[in-house]
Amino acid sequence: MNIDARTVENAIKRALAEDLGGGRDITTAAAIPPGAAMKAVMRARREGILCGGEIAAAAFRAVDPSLKITAHIRDGGKIAPGQDILSIEGPAASILTAERTALNFATHLSGISTMTGKYVEAVAGTKASIMCTRKTLPGLRIFQKYAVRCGGGRNHRFGLYDAVLIKDNHIAAAGGVGTAIEKALSFTEKKVKIEVEVDTMDQLKEALQHDIDVVLLDNMPADMLRLAVKMAKGKCLTEASGGITLRNVRAAAQTGVDMISIGALTHSAPALDIGLDTIL
């Protein structure tokens, strides 16, 4: 997992604090005898691509470092219904207190990696890469972008600081495509990637007159995308975005675009059904 341990630790601390409210798990305290031991397994109930298994394990350890945890599959691996992901053994109270936090990370992130995998599979054989966007849950972006990578996708810029993306509102406020690009080129001195969003062929022609790295072709139908790709060939990379679904993503990829960015990967992926079962 290429998320640093401190970031994972801090996210788990926040999640546990939210769940415990500065107190304790009163259900477990009331119902579970002191010293009771438990064996449990985190198990897939639907097929998909795992992400967050290591984070789930860290959540259990954050509650009780004495828990014995065994991982059966790594993040990015395919999982089938009934497949064991983690085995956990130790104090029952600790396992039950950590259960929901661990599952929340695993089900949400595995949902993203699973959806990403479906898009990646849909464009197989083309040169198009499936990309995420900044349409992420506040505070969880690094985890959601990691999940996209586990599903075989690629990350777009991480934030507002690491690349220029001139969008429609920037163009309107700056006074036009060319003006916005010229200002960006002067400001950055080409030390970061510059990408420009266009939604008409006239805007594309204007953008291609400048030294940009990527042109984002927004909400263009396949025939228009194909023409835009031809115009941009040899000048910059092309990215399709807007209105992309599993039904039309292959048609978009077959136009020859280099990248396809999909906000739904992070803002609309359904959680993958993963549960925790007690081993009797």
Select which of 100, 154, 157, 193 is catalytic: 100
| Angstrom distance (rounded) from CA 163 to CA 260 | 17
Select which of 54, 197, 206, 258 is catalytic: 197
Select which of 135, 154, 193, 235 is catalytic: 135
User: Annotated catalytic, 233?
Assistant: no
User: Annotated catalytic, 167?
Assistant: yes
Select which of 157, 167, 183, 235 is catalytic: 167
Q: Could you give the count of Cα atoms lying within 13 Å of 203 in the half-sphere of its Cβ?
A: 20
Beta bridge partners of 68: 89
Beta bridge partners of 91: 37
CB burial readout 241-271, b (16+ within 10 A) else e: beebeeeebbbbbbbbbbbbbbbbbbeebeb
| Angstrom distance (rounded) from CA 184 to CA 194 | 8
Residue by residue, what is the 3-state secondary structure of 77-91? CEECCCCEEEEEEEE
CB burial readout 39-71, b (16+ within 10 A) else e: ebbbbbebebbbbbbbbbbbbbbbbeeebebeb
User: Annotated catalytic, 218?
Assistant: yes
Distances (CA, A) of 221 to 61, 199, 244, 249, 250: 49, 10, 10, 11, 12
User: Annotated catalytic, 78?
Assistant: no
Q: Where are the alpha helices (DSSP H) in 21-91?
A: 26-31, 53-63
Select which of 75, 195, 206, 218 is catalytic: 218
Contact 140, 266 (CB under 8 A): no
User: Annotated catalytic, 197?
Assistant: yes
What residues are labeled active site?
A: 100, 135, 167, 197, 218
